[in-house]
Structure 1
Amino acid sequence: MIAPLIVFIVGLAVLGWGFLQQRKRDAMAATPTLTCAEIGSGAGPVTCEVKGAATPGPNGPITAPFSGRECVWYHAKVSVRYEHHEYRDGRRRTTTRERTVHDETCPVPFGVQDATGQILVRHEGASVDGAHQSVQRFEPAGQNVNLFGLNIRVNFSDVKGHRYEEWIVPPGQPMYVLGAAGVENRQLTMRSPDGSPFIISTRSEEQLSGRLRTSMYVGYTGGGVVILGSLVWLAVKAFGG
């Protein structure tokens, strides 16, 4: 009975993911688009959308750790690939696995510039949809040894190598941001809103809305099919012995 229940839970998770995509899309449709000037002239914080080009924060541009490229935001990740050994029924079984050993998102805020001014986005480590992948490489472990004129890779450990991945937002990148905007310390600022999704994307509003619609349908359809299949499986096991 355990396996069908696990599949049922997976189906619920997929269904919940679809609901999250719908929630983001509904929030986009219900949220007004404001310029920096309109936000600055308002009476208080407001949940809105802003559109413009990415600019460096107060301390200037930053440098991505792996590519060395200039950017306003980055996400860097390192995974180790290794051999995992386990013994079953007196036999040794070896599988290749990967696990993340470093996962870092730049905490520095960046700006979004439109025709009327600039607003500071305090993302606080939030992800950026559609960020450019600037690095994706795998470095095998061990060292090269020249043996009789042949270069051979020698490695005596279970570690097979490391995967390096990096995503960046370069200066000038068109941005769409949905969040809570207002004036903080005489600076237009946007941050995560209360009770609404915080969306930061390099895609246009139209592109992002279409992508979320597709993801929503996939989540609802896939989750429904998995849940239905788990219930049928559970019924067969319950009544079929």
Structure 2
Amino acid sequence: MAVIIIGVVLLVAAAVGFYFMRRARDELHAMIGAETLPVNQLELLRKASDDVGARGGFRKECEVVGAAHPRPEGVLISELSKTVCVWFRYVVKRRYERVRYRDGRRHVDRGSETVAEHTSWEGYALRDDHSVLIGVDPNGTKPDRPEQVVDRFEPHNPQGPTVFGFQLPNILDNSGTVGYEYKEWVIRPGRRLYILGEVHDKIGPLVIGKPEQKGFFIISTRSEQEVRDSLRTQHRLLAFGIPAAALAAIVCIVLGIVL
């Protein structure tokens, strides 16, 4: 029975791996098929669209590169580290231990749960290599390889967890709490970004964001070539691992049935 369960787990892993392999391939193809355009050229294309009576209806899937720039309202300040940024995300997890007694023996189960998390939704801008700005609508998307500015663990405080000296209410207190893990990521102003998405003029100025229909939206602190190389490596590894996992799953299930 145990061998059959292992086989089923391997089959599920192969199916999940197949999904990610196809996604990596599709993302790579989208990057290869998209042009990297300066904002000035996008403005010319938008003007041509306006000239034929399609004001506000311009759509163009492409890539843009440049430096992150604050929105007109100014920079953001991240919640945990108070870092000046244009985007941030934080996660707070509770680590716990649960004691169970079975067959006269003491068993300790360890785990964690997310008690707080937030991703900034505010837009920002990108200044291309010709110093022309274009808006960026992150739409809650997690960027690839943002800078991690917080990675710390604080032991459990019976009075409640603290966030860099700020006392939080102790609504989750129980004897199993070991402590709290804090992580935060940011994109600072001036950070060079590669963005694949859809440029539109729905609100007037040009903005790049998630495509309305099918398509991919990638915001990365890595270069286009680095992202492509990573996707190729991921695809190759999965292309090798999926058949191996599927074959092992079949062998385990057959052995489980026969034995």
Query: What TM-score results when the alignment is normalised by the length of structure 1?
Result: 0.89
Letter matched to residue 15 of structure 2: L
Deviations 1:125-157 (A, max 9, x none): 1010010001100001137xxxxxxxxxxx982
**Counterpart secondary structure, 1:125:** coil
> Which deviates more from structure 2 when the two are superposed, residues 134-143 or residues 67-76?
134-143
Q: Structure 1 residues 2 and 53 mapped into 2: Cα distance closer, same or farther (>3 Å)?
A: same
Q: How does 1:88-127 map to 2 (within 5 A)?
A: 88-114=102-128, 115-127=130-142
Do residues 201 (structure 1) and 217 (structure 2) align? no
Q: How does 1:108-147 map to 2 (within 5 A)?
A: 108-114=122-128, 115-142=130-157
Runs of 4+, deviation exceeding 6 Å: none
Q: Alignment partner for residue 234 of structure 1, among 253, 256, 259?
A: 253
Do residues 165 (structure 1) and 180 (structure 2) align? no
How large is the Cα RMSD of the aligned pairs?
1.8
Letter matched to residue 68 of structure 1: K
Percent sequence identity is 30
Letter matched to residue 178 of structure 1: L
Gaps of 5+ in 1: 144-154
Q: Is the 8 A contact 1:183 1:189 kept in 2?
A: yes
| Deviation for aligned residue 1:175 | 0.4
| Deviation for aligned residue 1:30 | 0.5
Q: Alignment partner for residue 84 of structure 1, among 90, 98, 101?
A: 98
Deviations 1:91-128 (A, max 9, x none): 44212211111121101111111115111111111010
| Deviation for aligned residue 1:89 | 3.5
Q: How does 1:48-59 map to 2 (within 5 A)?
A: 48-59=62-73
| Deviation for aligned residue 1:219 | 2.1
Residue aligning to 1:175: 193
> Which deviates more from structure 2 when the two are superposed, residues 68-77 or residues 219-228?
219-228
CA distance in 2 between partners of 1:63 and 1:18 (Å) = 37
Q: Alignment partner for residue 40 of structure 2, among 37, 40, 43?
A: 37
CA distance in 1 between partners of 2:101 and 2:72 (Å) = 56
Letter matched to residue 60 of structure 1: G
CA distance in 2 between partners of 1:116 and 1:104 (Å) = 31
CA distance in 2 between partners of 1:36 and 1:118 (Å) = 7
| Deviation for aligned residue 1:16 | 1.4
Gaps of 5+ in 2: 50-57, 159-172
Q: Is the 8 A contact 2:6 2:252 kept in 1?
A: no
Q: Alignment partner for residue 232 of structure 2, among 186, 209, 213?
A: 213
Q: Is the 8 A contact 1:40 1:183 kept in 2?
A: no
Deviations 1:35-70 (A, max 9, x none): 111112212211000000001123210001111110
Deviations 1:197-240 (A, max 9, x none): 111101110111111111111222222221111111112122x2
**Counterpart secondary structure, 1:197:** coil
Q: Structure 1 residues 188 and 203 mapped into 2: Cα distance closer, same or farther (>3 Å)?
A: same
**Counterpart secondary structure, 1:67:** coil
Which one has a larger percent strand, Structure 1 or Structure 2? Answer: 1
Letter matched to residue 21 of structure 1: A
Q: Is the 8 A contact 2:92 2:115 kept in 1?
A: yes
CA distance in 2 between partners of 1:127 and 1:141 (Å) = 29
Q: How does 1:2-17 map to 2 (within 5 A)?
A: 2-17=5-20
